[in-house]
Amino acid sequence: TPHLLSVSDLEVQYRRPGQLPTRAVAGVSLDVQAGEVVGLVGESGCGKSTLARAVCGLTAPTAGGIVFDGTPVGPLRVRRREPALTRIQMVFQDPYGSLNPRRRVGAQIADGIRIAALRGDIPVPESTDGPVEHFLTRVGLPASAAQRFPHEFSGGQRQRIAIARALAARPSLLVGDEPISALDASAQAQVASLMRSLAVESGAGLLFISHDLSVVRLIADRIAVMYLGRIVETGTTAEVWDNPRHPYTQALLAAIPQPDGAGRLPTELPGDVPDPAAPPSGCRFHPRCPRAFDGCDREDPRLNADGVACRLYA
């Protein structure tokens, strides 16, 4: 079966006046199947959001391609409101990225329903009240929420509203860009599992982006780890969690506090994420890599057939 989403050798470059061009995404390939949850993990500034924005047609790639359900994705096509591309729906870190603070919740979910009706996927409903209530119920909110405004809800509830709005548009791909990182710990796991179950139930794919590997591993079928614009490791969640191979993935895992209070390993990454406008030579991770060896500052490893981009596994 063809992939629902296929990203190949994607490059996104930013140019700001008087500055070096930044390759925020540098040669990324990634697939998502229908009904599959892919977690994209990395520190802030690694290019995750840029990748998400390109997938949703909000940012133009400099090279490479994105194909969604047989349709090439590009900003122009999205601006022209190509109906097929409304099947990609996004949930942002800040729910006000998807919600209008001045409109009642019900009216905003009804917008999603109208998007699906315009596309011809559902009949134009005589009244949106019933469907709005249906989507509110699915995200665990009472029907009375329809009459209220977004600011009357907690952060976790607002994210549920944003999810209801996205779902109402009948997406076949849901993209969450750090949808839980502004929430408190208990709401994080709830909202993440809700996104997973709603996507899987409706047969949609979910690309779930987060800096938090410990939450991603609870909901993802596959994980891709990103560092400075590159995917450095990819595999099933069990493979990545139980047997991380790339030194960066190993360090991410080591940094996760354990329930007994001890870290997995006494490893801390030295230094900050380098400036993506001036990435290190050779392996982009070499200045921080505890296992760097001769040649890592010159040779730039690409993702191998086993899904790891590191010279230790060449």
Quick one: which segment of 20-28, 44-52, 183-191, 284-292 binds ligand SF4 (CB under 6 A)? 284-292
Of 87 and 286, nearer to ligand SF4 (C-beta) is 286
DSSP letter, residue 275: P
Whole-angstrom CA distances from 57 to 12, 32, 51, 77, 122 are: 12, 16, 10, 8, 24
Query: If you search the block for the tokens 């907690």, which residue do you land on?
Result: 154
Give the one residue of 169, 219, 285, 307 binding ligand SF4; rule: CB under 6 A. Answer: 285
Q: Using an 8 Å Cβ cutoff, are 249 and 232 in contact?
A: yes
The identity of residue 75, as a single letter, is: P
Of 92 and 153, nearer to Mg ion (C-beta) is 92
Residue numbers 28-57 binding Mg ion by CB under 5 A: 49
Q: Which does 311 bind (CB under 5 to 8 A by kind): Mg ion, ligand SF4, none?
A: ligand SF4
Of 212 and 300, nearer to Mg ion (C-beta) is 212
The identity of residue 254, as a single letter, is: A
The helix/strand/coil state of 57 is: coil
Site map (CB under 6 A) of ligand SF4, residues 206-245, x = contact: ----------------------------------------
Q: Is 310 in the site for ligand SF4 (CB under 6 A)?
A: yes
Q: Using an 8 Å Cβ cutoff, are 37 and 223 in contact?
A: no
Of 242 and 299, nearer to ligand SF4 (C-beta) is 299
Q: Is 312 in the site for ligand SF4 (CB under 6 A)?
A: yes
CA distance 235 to 246: 11
Shortest separation between residue 142's beta carbon and ligand SF4, angstroms: 50
Shortest separation between residue 215's beta carbon and ligand SF4, angstroms: 24
CA distance 184 to 26: 32
Q: Which does 196 bind (CB under 5 to 8 A by kind): Mg ion, ligand SF4, none?
A: none
Name 23's Cβ contacts closer than 8 Å, sequence gap at least 6: 11, 12, 13, 62, 229, 276, 279
Shortest separation between residue 312's beta carbon and ligand SF4, angstroms: 5
Of 224 and 310, nearer to ligand SF4 (C-beta) is 310
Q: Is 286 in the site for ligand SF4 (CB under 6 A)?
A: yes
Tokens describing residue 108? 């905003």
Quick one: which segment of 28-36, 61-69, 267-275, 285-293 binds ligand SF4 (CB under 6 A)? 285-293
Query: Which residue from 173, 187, 177, 83 is spatially nearest to 140, judged by alpha carbons?
Result: 187
Q: Could you please report the per-residue DSSP string of 291-302?
A: T--TTTTT--PP
Other Cβ atoms less than 10 A from the Cβ of 182: the count is: 16
Of 141 and 310, nearer to ligand SF4 (C-beta) is 310
Give the one residue of 247, 253, 261, 304 binding ligand SF4; rule: CB under 6 A. Answer: 247
Q: Using an 8 Å Cβ cutoff, are 236 and 216 in contact?
A: no
Q: Is 170 in the site for ligand SF4 (CB under 6 A)?
A: no
Give the one residue of 53, 158, 170, 311 binding ligand SF4; rule: CB under 6 A. Answer: 311
Other Cβ atoms less than 10 A from the Cβ of 278: the count is: 9
Element (DSSP H or E) covering residue 210: strand 205-210
Binding site for ligand SF4 (CB under 6 A): 247, 283, 285-286, 289, 291-292, 296, 301, 310-312
